[in-house]
C-alpha cells in the first residue's frame, strides 16, 4: 500500500518535534513543507555567537540524554548529516560549601562508591531501571496508552515516579549529599520538590546518566537541528523560514509544533467551544532566566572534580534547592553546562563558554544575573574575573525568541499531575479538526529534545491518510 500521490502536509514550526513529524511523513511518501516563523530553523535547539565572535552558545537546549535515548532519532542517519556526540568524563557534578562535590558518573558502580553509605540505596533505586533502559525508554517516550516494553521496570518506575522528589530522597538516602544530588536532578521538572511527580524527573534523568550519559553535540545543539533538516531534505521535504502561519491552511494534513496558547488563534472559530475552553485553561509552568558567558578560562570550581562534568548543579543542599523551586525567591538553584571543557570547537583557542539557567515565575522579567553569578562564585571563587562577555535572556525575551516558550516555560506547559492528565488525554495529537494534529512538547511524552511528540503525532496522522491499493 502506498499513500495517495495527492497527499501533502504542512508542518507549522521547525523545532525538533516539527522536524521529526516532517521526517516521518516524508518517509511515508507525503509531500511535506515546514513553515518556521524565525529566520533560523530549530526552535529551542539552536546555537549562535551570543556574546563575542567565535564563542558558540546554545540558545536553549545544551545537554541531551533524551536525544540519545530517542527511539526515532536512532533510526535516522543523523551522523551522515554532521551530528556527533561528545560524552564528558562524567554527566554531572554537584558542589558543596566545604569545597567538595558529588560526582554522578556514567558508571553506576563508581557512583555508588562515591556515595559511601548511600551507595547501596542508590543502586537499589537505579540499577533495575538502568538495566531495563533499552526497553524502558520506549515506555517513557511512548504514547500515553501502549503495551509496556518493560512491564516490571515500568511499574517499579511508576511507583516511585509519582512521588514528590523530597519524599523519595528523604526515604531512600541518609546523607545530605545524596539527597542534594537527587534533588538537583529532580528540579529539572520545574515543580516544587514537595509536588508530584517531581521524583519522575530525578529517576528518568538519573537513569539516563548511567545508561546513556548526558552528552553534548559537537559544535552545539544546532547540529541536531541541521542533521534533522538534512535528513528531511534528502527525503524531499521543504523548509521555509520567516514564514509565520497565522491561520490553518486548507487541505492536506497539518501538524502544529505549537503549544495550546498559539493553537487557539490558529484554529479560532473552527474549534468546538469545549476544546477552545480546554486550550484557554491550559496552564504554563515557571519561566526560565538564562545566562551565557564567554570566559577567559574554565570556571574555577573549588572542587576540581567539577571540571570532569558536562553539567554542574549549583545550589547546595536539598533544602536550599527545594526552597528556590517552591518560592522562586532567595538564592537560585542554577543549572550550569560547560561544553568547551570537552568540545574546544565552541570557542577561540584556550577560551571557554558556559551556559546557565534558573527557574523564575512565569513571564517574570526579573534579571537574576547577579544572583546567578553569586551562586557560581560561591562554589568557584574568582569566577567573575574570568567573564569576557555575557548574554542575558529573561523569560519574556525567551518567548520573544520562540513563541512556544510561553512566559519562558521551556516544557510546553506545567508538569504537575493534574495537567499531565490533560496532556496525555486531551492533547494526544489529534484535535477535533479533521487532519489537524498537535505535535509540540505540550503533547506526550513532553519537553526535551527527543522528537517523540512529533513522531507519535505523525503516526496518528499517517493512520488516517488515504491510501492507494
Ligand atoms: C533555555 C532552555 C534550555 C533547555 N535545555 C534543554 C536541554 O539541555 N536538553 C533538552 O533535551 N531540552 C532542553 N530544553 C527543552 C527543549 O529545547 C524543548 O523541549 C524542545 O525544543 C521542544 O521542541 P518542539 O519542537 O516541541 O518546540 P520548539 O523547539 O519550541 O520549536 C517550535 C518552533 O515552532 C515555531 N513556531 C511556533 N509557532 C509558529 C507559527 N505560527 N508559524 C511558524 N512557526 C511557528 C517556533 O518559532 C519554533 O521554532 C531547553 C529549552 C530551553 C528554552
Is 35 touching ligand 1 by the criterion CB < 6 Å? yes
> pLDDT confidence of 269, banded at 50, 70, 90?
confident
Which range (4-18, 86-100, 343-357) has the least confidence? 4-18
13 C-beta closer than 6 A to ligand 1:
yes
Beta-carbon neighbour count of residue 380 at 10 Å?
21
The mean predicted confidence, pLDDT, of the chain is 96
Nearest CA to ligand 1 atom 50: 61
Flag whether pLDDT at 276 surpasses 80: yes
Residue 238: count other Cβ atoms within 10 Å of its Cβ.
Answer: 13
Kindly state the percentage of the chain with pLDDT values over 70. Answer: 98
pLDDT at 178 over 70: yes
Q: Which pLDDT does position 144 carry in this prediction?
A: 84
Average pLDDT over residues 369-373: 98
**How remote is the CA of residue 282 from the centroid of ligand 1, in Å?**
18
Kindly indicate the confidence band of residue 465, based on its pLDDT and cuts at 50, 70 and 90. confident
Determine how many CB atoms are found less than 10 A away from the CB of residue 274: 9
Q: Does 3 have pLDDT greater than 90?
A: no
Residue 380 in this model has a pLDDT that exceeds 70: yes
Is the model's pLDDT at 67 over the cut of 70?
A: yes
Name the pLDDT band for 468 (thresholds 50, 70, 90).
very low
Relative to the CA of 393, which ligand 1 atom is closest?
A: 1
- Using H for helix, E for strand and C for coil, what is the string for the chain? CEECCCCEEEEECCCHHHHHHHHHHHHCCCEEEEECCCCCCCCCCCEECCCCCCCCEECCCCCCCCCCCCCCHHHCCHHHHCCCEECCCEEEEEECCCCCEEEECCCHHHHHHHCHHHHHHHHHHHHHHHHHHHHHHHHHCCCCCCCCCCHHHHHHHHHHHCCCHHHHHHHHCCCHHHHHHHHHHHHHHCCCCCCCCHHHHHHHHHHHHHHCCCCEECCCCHHHHHHHHHHHHHCCCEEECCCCCCCCCCCCEEEECCCHHHHHHHHHHHCCHHHHHHHHCCCCCCEEEEEEEEECCCCCCCCHHHHHEEEEEECCCHHHHHHHHHHCCCCCCEEEECHHHCCHHHCCCCCEEEEEEEEECCCCCCCCHHHHHHHHHHHCCCCHHHEEEEEEECHHHHHHHCCCCHHHCCCCCCCCHHHHHHHHHCCCCECCCCCEEECCCCCCCCCCCCCHHHHHHHHHHHHHCCEEC
Say if ligand 1 is within 6 A of residue 62 CB: yes
| The three cell numbers locating residue 220 | 552545539
Residue of the nearest CA to atom 13 in ligand 1? 61
Ligand 1 atom with least separation from CA of 453: 26
327 vs 427 pLDDT, higher one:
327
Identify which has the larger pLDDT, 176 or 419.
176
Assess whether pLDDT exceeds 60 at residue 1.
no
The pLDDT, as a whole number, for residue 4 is: 60
Give the integer Cα–Cα distance in Å for 361 and 355: 20
Q: pLDDT band at 268, cuts 50/70/90? A: confident
- Whether ligand 1 lies within 6 angstroms of the CB of 15 is answered as yes
Q: What is the pLDDT of residue 6?
A: 60
CA of 437 to the centre of ligand 1 (A): 17
Q: What is the mean pLDDT of residues 289-301?
A: 98
Q: Is the CB of 36 under 6 A from ligand 1?
A: yes
pLDDT at position 469, please?
Answer: 36
How high is the pLDDT of residue 425?
87
Whether ligand 1 lies within 6 angstroms of the CB of 405 is answered as yes
Mean pLDDT along residues 373-390: 98
Q: State residue 426's pLDDT score.
A: 85
Closest to 368 in 3D by CA, of 381, 357, 377, 384:
357
Ligand 1 neighbourhood includes 70 CB (under 6 angstroms): no
Query: Is a pLDDT exceeding 90 seen at residue 7?
Result: no
Mean per-residue pLDDT for 62-68? 98
pTM above 0.85, yes or no: yes
CB 141 less than 6 A from any atom of ligand 1: no
Q: Decide: 254 in ligand 1 pocket, CB within 6 A.
A: no
CA of 412 relative to ligand 1 center, distance in Å: 8
Amino acid at each position: 500500500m502506498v499513500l495517495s500521490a495527492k497527499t501533502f502536509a504542512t508542518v507549522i514550526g521547525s523545532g525538533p518535534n516539527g522536524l521529526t513529524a516532517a521526517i516521518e511523513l516524508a518517509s511515508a511518501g507525503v509531500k511535506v513543507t515546514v513553515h518556521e516563523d524565525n529566520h533560523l530553523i530549530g526552535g529551542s535547539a539552536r546555537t549562535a555567537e551570543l556574546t563575542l565572535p567565535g564563542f558558540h552558545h546554545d540558545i536553549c537546549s545544551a545537554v541531551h540524554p533524551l536525544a540519545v535515548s530517542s527511539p526515532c532519532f536512532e533510526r535516522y542517519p543523523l551522523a551522515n548529516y554532521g551530528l556527533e556526540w561528545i560524552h564528558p568524563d562524567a554527566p554531572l557534578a554537584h558542589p558543596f560549601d566545604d569545597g567538595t562535590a558529588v560526582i554522578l558518573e556514567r558508571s553506576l558502580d563508581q557512583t555508588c562508591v562515591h556515595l559511601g553509605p548511600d551507595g547501596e540505596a542508590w543502586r537499589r533505586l537505579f540499577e533495575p531501571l538502568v538495566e531495563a533502559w533499552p526497553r524502558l525508554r520506549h515506555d517513557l517516550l511512548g504514547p500515553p496508552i501502549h503495551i509496556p516494553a518493560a512491564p516490571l521496570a515500568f511499574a517499579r518506575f511508576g511507583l516511585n515516579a509519582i512521588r514528590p522528589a523530597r519524599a523519595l530522597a528523604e526515604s531512600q538516602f541518609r546523607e545530605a549529599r545524596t539527597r542534594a544530588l537527587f534533588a538537583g536532578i529532580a528540579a529539572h521538572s520545574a515543580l516544587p520538590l514537595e509536588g508530584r511527580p517531581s521524583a519522575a524527573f530525578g529517576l528518568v534523568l538519573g537513569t539516563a546518566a548511567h545508561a546513556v550519559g548526558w552528552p553534548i553535540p559537537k559544535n552545539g545543539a544546532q547540529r541536531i537541528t541541521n542533521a534533522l533538516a538534512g535528513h528531511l531534505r534528502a527525503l524531499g521535504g521543504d523548509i521555509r523560514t520567516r514564514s509565520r502561519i497565522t491561520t490553518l491552511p486548507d487541505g492536506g494534513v497539518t501538524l502544529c509544533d505549537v503549544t495550546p496558547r498559539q493553537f487557539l488563534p490558529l484554529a479560532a472559530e473552527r474549534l468546538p467551544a469545549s476544546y477552545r475552553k480546554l486550550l484557554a485553561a491550559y496552564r504554563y509552568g515557571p519561566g526560565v532566566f538564562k545566562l551565557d558567558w564567554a570566559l577567559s578560562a574554565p570556571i574555577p570550581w573549588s572542587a576540581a572534580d567539577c571540571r570532569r562534568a558536562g553539567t554542574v548543579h549549583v545550589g547546595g543542599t536539598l533544602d536550599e534547592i527545594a526552597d528556590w523551586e517552591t518560592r522562586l525567591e532567595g538564592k537560585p538553584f542554577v543549572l550550569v553546562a560547560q561544553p568547551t571543557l570537552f568540545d574546544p570547537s565552541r570557542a577561540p583557542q584556550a577560551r571557554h563558554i558556559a551556559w546557565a539557567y534558573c527557574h523564575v515565575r512565569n513571564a517574570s522579567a526579573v534579571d537574576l544575573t547577579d544572583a546567578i553569578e553569586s551562586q557560581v562564585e560561591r562554589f568557584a571563587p574568582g569566577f567573575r574575573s574570568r567573564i569576557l562577555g555575557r548574554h542575558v535572556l529573561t523569560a519574556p525575551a525567551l518567548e520573544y525568541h520562540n513563541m512556544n516558550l510561553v512566559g519562558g516555560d521551556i516544557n510546553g506547559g506545567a508538569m504537575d499531575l493534574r495537567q499531565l492528565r490533560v496532556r496525555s488525554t486531551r492533547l494526544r495529537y489529534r484535535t477535533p479538526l479533521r487532519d489537524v494534529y498537535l505535535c509540540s512538547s505540550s503533547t506526550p511524552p513532553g519537553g526535551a529534545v527527543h522528537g517523540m511528540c512529533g513522531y507519535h503525532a505523525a503516526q496518528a496522522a499517517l493512520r488516517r491518510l488515504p491510501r492507494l491499493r
